[in-house]
Structures are given as C-alpha cells and as structure tokens.
C-alpha cells in the first residue's frame, strides 16, 4: 500500500501534437522530480537540485538513498535524478520535453491503486513524493524474451506521473480474462492487475520469413494498457537501415535478415 497524501499535488498542461512538452505548475514549496535530459525551461524562482535516487519521501537516511539509487542502476538509468522546487511566493512553471516524436501521458496513480508499471525508458517526470522503482518479472519466458527484459520500472504513490509513448498512443481497457497480443517493443505500460507474459509466434514460415520477431506479448485483463505505435528501437532501426552500410537488413526481425545482406551483393 502507498502512503496517503505523500506526493505533491501539481497542476499541468501538455502542449504540442507530435513533439510534445508538459508544463508543470508548482505552488510555493511544491516540487517535481525528472529524469536527466528531459528538462526544457523554467521560471526564475524554480530551484534545481540533483539528488540520489527518486526523491520520494519514503527514503530514510543515507542507506535508503543509496538503495534507491542502486535500484536505478538495474534499470539502466543514472544514479541521480533532478528535483525542481518552487522557492518563490507565487505559482511558477517548469517544463519537460518528449525525447522523440510521440505523446506524453499523465498517470494519476490514485486511479490505478497506487502503482503503474512501465518500460524502462518511458518515465518522464512525476510529482515529488512519487517513488520510481523497479519491477522484476516473475516469469522466465518474459524475462528472457520480452522486449522490456527482466526488469521494468514502476511508479508508486498517490500523485501524478508522466510517461512518454513513441508515435501514436493507444489506450486499451481490458475486461477480466480479455487478452491483447502486442509486439513486445510496443508496450508502454500497464496497471498492476494486468497479467503480462510472452508467447511464441509459432509456425515455421512465421518464424523464418515473418519479419516480426519470434515472440509477442500477451496482456490479460482486467486492467488498463498503453501501447505505442513507434518504439524508439524501431525508429532507431529505420534510421540505421537508411545509412549505407549502417545495419541495413532484409526482413526486420527475421532470421534471414542478415543472410539477405549477403545475397543482395551489398557485402561484396
């Protein structure tokens, strides 16, 4: 269970269509915590402070801060996060930008029982007091073959958090027992009640010639799921494939992709 009234109550507004940014409005002494590199602009009375861990009020002493920072290493993130606090007398604004084209999604943790699970690079910022931790997969198949790997991020608390989805975002509310099959890289996040597992595509033709990878994710309700149309890995792959000699392959995700490069004469 999360602590009641733990996180700061922040107001926000999201601007833009394809390259969005979120403007957070802070009352005096209110704060917001963000990943390094997401900052865009702020008013003069906003104080920026780099901290160990996630800045949640649940951290106790130096040992708690070291443990919180250590958890972030496991997700591939920096040891540090940045807290932006309004030290002025009136309302002040601080803004954070999307890392690539897509949509910024506000997540009210109160609506989702105080916990939301997301892919490792989806988190953008959150009200100070929200805990940003790690979520381990309890299933071997999901850990080995899932697009998000063995470790995902989780936000816990009673405040607002913001995540980023690449391309266009789809929100699916699953009924009990309802199953949604998704490309593993297209998952942005889901509520804690959703059962997430990995399923083999099956079929020799699908496996060798399909070009969609060997596994997809199965999400079983009840719960809410957020899906992105353009994962960053897919975007990066398209960019690399357009560069001469820069990872060009025939049949993205297929076993014959590398062989195709040999057969078409690019490597001769």
Q: What is the pLDDT of residue 146?
A: 45
Q: What is the pLDDT of residue 63?
A: 52
Rounded alpha-carbon distances, angstroms, from residue 256 to 147, 165, 239: 20, 30, 20
Task: Locate 184 and state its tokens.
Answer: 């593993």
Nearest to 110, CA basis, from 182, 33, 9: 9
Distance from first CA to last CA of the chain, Å, rounded? Answer: 61
CB 117 within 8 A of CB 189: yes
Q: What is the pLDDT of residue 257?
A: 47
Q: What is the pLDDT of residue 193?
A: 94
Peptide bond into 222 cis (omega under 30): yes
Q: What is the pLDDT of residue 91?
A: 96
- The residue written with tokens 């033709």 in the block is 205
Q: What is the pLDDT of residue 213?
A: 53
Q: What is the pLDDT of residue 24?
A: 97
Tens digits of pLDDT across the chain (268 residues): 444 447 788 999 999 988 899 999 999 999 999 987 899 999 999 999 988 766 665 445 555 555 555 555 555 555 678 999 999 999 999 999 998 889 999 999 999 999 999 987 889 999 998 988 888 765 544 444 444 445 788 899 999 999 999 999 999 999 999 999 998 888 999 999 999 887 776 545 444 444 455 677 889 999 999 999 988 777 777 777 778 765 544 444 444 444 444 334 444 4
Domains, the chain, ranges and CATH? 11-230 (3.60.160.10)
Quickly count: other Cβ atoms within 10 Å of residue 55's Cβ. 26
């Amino acid at each position: 269970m999360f602590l009641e009234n733990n996180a700061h109550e922040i107001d926000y507004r999201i601007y833009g269509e394809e390259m969005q940014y979120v403007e957070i409005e802070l009352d005096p002494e209110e704060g917001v915590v963000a990943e390094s590199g997401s900052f865009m602009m702020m008013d003069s009375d906003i104080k920026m402070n780099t901290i160990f861990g996630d800045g949640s009020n649940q951290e106790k002493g130096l040992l708690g801060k070291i443990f919180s920072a250590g958890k972030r290493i496991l997700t591939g993130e920096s040891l540090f996060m940045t807290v932006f606090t309004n030290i002025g007398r009136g309302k002040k604004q601080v803004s954070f930008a999307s890392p690539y084209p897509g949509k910024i999604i506000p997540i009210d943790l109160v609506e989702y029982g105080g916990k939301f699970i997301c892919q490792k690079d989806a988190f953008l910022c959150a009200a100070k007091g929200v805990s940003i931790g790690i979520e381990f997969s309890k299933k071997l198949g999901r850990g080995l073959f899932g697009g998000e790997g063995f470790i995902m991020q989780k936000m816990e608390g009673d405040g607002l958090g913001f995540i980023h989805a690449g391309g266009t975002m789809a929100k699916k509310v699953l009924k009990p027992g309802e199953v949604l099959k998704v490309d593993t890289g297209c998952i942005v996040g889901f509520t804690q009640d959703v059962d997430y597992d990995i399923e083999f595509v099956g079929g020799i033709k699908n496996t060798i010639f399909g070009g969609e990878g060997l596994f997809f994710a199965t999400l079983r309700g009840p719960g809410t799921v957020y899906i992105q149309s353009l994962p960053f890995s897919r975007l990066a792959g398209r960019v690399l494939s357009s560069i001469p000699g820069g990872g060009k392959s025939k049949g993205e995700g297929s076993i014959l992709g590398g062989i195709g490069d040999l057969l078409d004469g690019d490597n001769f």
